[in-house]
Amino acid sequence: MKKLGLAALSAAMVASFSASASTTSATASWQGVISGIVAGETIMITGRDGAEVVPIGQLMRNTSGSLVGPDIQLEAWTNTGTAATPVPGELIEVGTTINDDIAGGATAYSGLEWQVTDIATFVEGAPVNGIGWTVNNGNTEIAAFDGMGALTSGTLATDNIIKVNVASSDDTATKNVIDSHSGKDAAVSVTIVLTGS
């Protein structure tokens, strides 16, 4: 089993606004977990088209009061460098042999598995409990977090490209926690592990 591309995603939200009869002002700031990639010896997670930096999506509040984030594209690439200094080689096609000069020689991948291993919520840089999340690949749920530490994570197999998005739970408890932090900067971080076999 060739293991491990690790991506930490973070999405930040701007939420500090004030208004009066004669003036309007807005304060914008961004904070959260620094996103990045930890590559394996033979595979790595990249952003769109092999970009070595995972993009950050904006976290927004929808009309129901829940928080949602747009798709962030993640791709499975061979690593022609090392785990310490990764270099994207080729987009992995499952069931084909990769002929690039990757560590260990040519490699065939019969399968890929993406798994969510952690979800964390921050408000003004401090961790916050009580906000439930779902993590999706497009419209397919791949993980759920109850907001109190319990993570249910499925494995998404075979796709070499996934489009990850997040949505807070659409329940009263989650909305109450979100409402209690109204006007404050918020971020959610999702850690995803890619395993190739």
pLDDT tens, position by position, 6-29: 555 544 433 333 344 454 445 444
Question: In the predicted model, what is the mean pLDDT of residues 147-171?
Answer: 87
Q: What is the pLDDT of residues 177-191, one digit of tens each?
A: 999 998 888 888 888
CB 109 within 8 A of CB 79: no
Average pLDDT, the chain: 78
d(CA 115, CA 192): 5
Rounded to whole angstroms, the Cα distance separating 115 from 153 reads 7
Q: Residue 147 phi/psi, 5° resolution?
A: 90, -10
Compute φ and ψ for 134, nearest 5 degrees. Answer: -120, 145
In the predicted structure, residue 63 carries a pLDDT above the cut 50: yes
pLDDT at 42: 82
Q: Which residues pair with 196 in a beta bridge?
A: 2, 112
Q: Mean pLDDT across the stretch 155-174?
A: 87
Query: How far is residue 118's CA from residue 123's CA, in Å, rounded to a whole number?
Result: 17
Up-side HSE of residue 173: CA atoms within 13 Å toward CB?
9
Q: Provide the β-strand partners of residue 68.
A: 60, 167
Q: How confident is the model at residue 34 (pLDDT cuts 50, 70, 90)?
A: low
For a pLDDT cut of 90, what percent of the chain falls above it? 20
Residue 131 has a CB neighbour count (10 Å cut-off) of 25
Higher pLDDT, 172 or 53: 172
Judged against a pLDDT cut of 80, whether residue 35 lies above it is answered with no
By percentage, how much of the chain surpasses pLDDT 70? Answer: 75
* Residues 107-139 pLDDT 10s: 667 778 888 888 889 888 888 999 999 999 999
Which structure tokens are listed for 45?
A: 């997670």
Task: State pLDDT tens for residues 82-110.
Answer: 888 989 988 888 766 655 445 455 566 77
The upper half-sphere exposure of residue 129, i.e. CA atoms within 13 Å in the direction of its Cβ, equals: 4
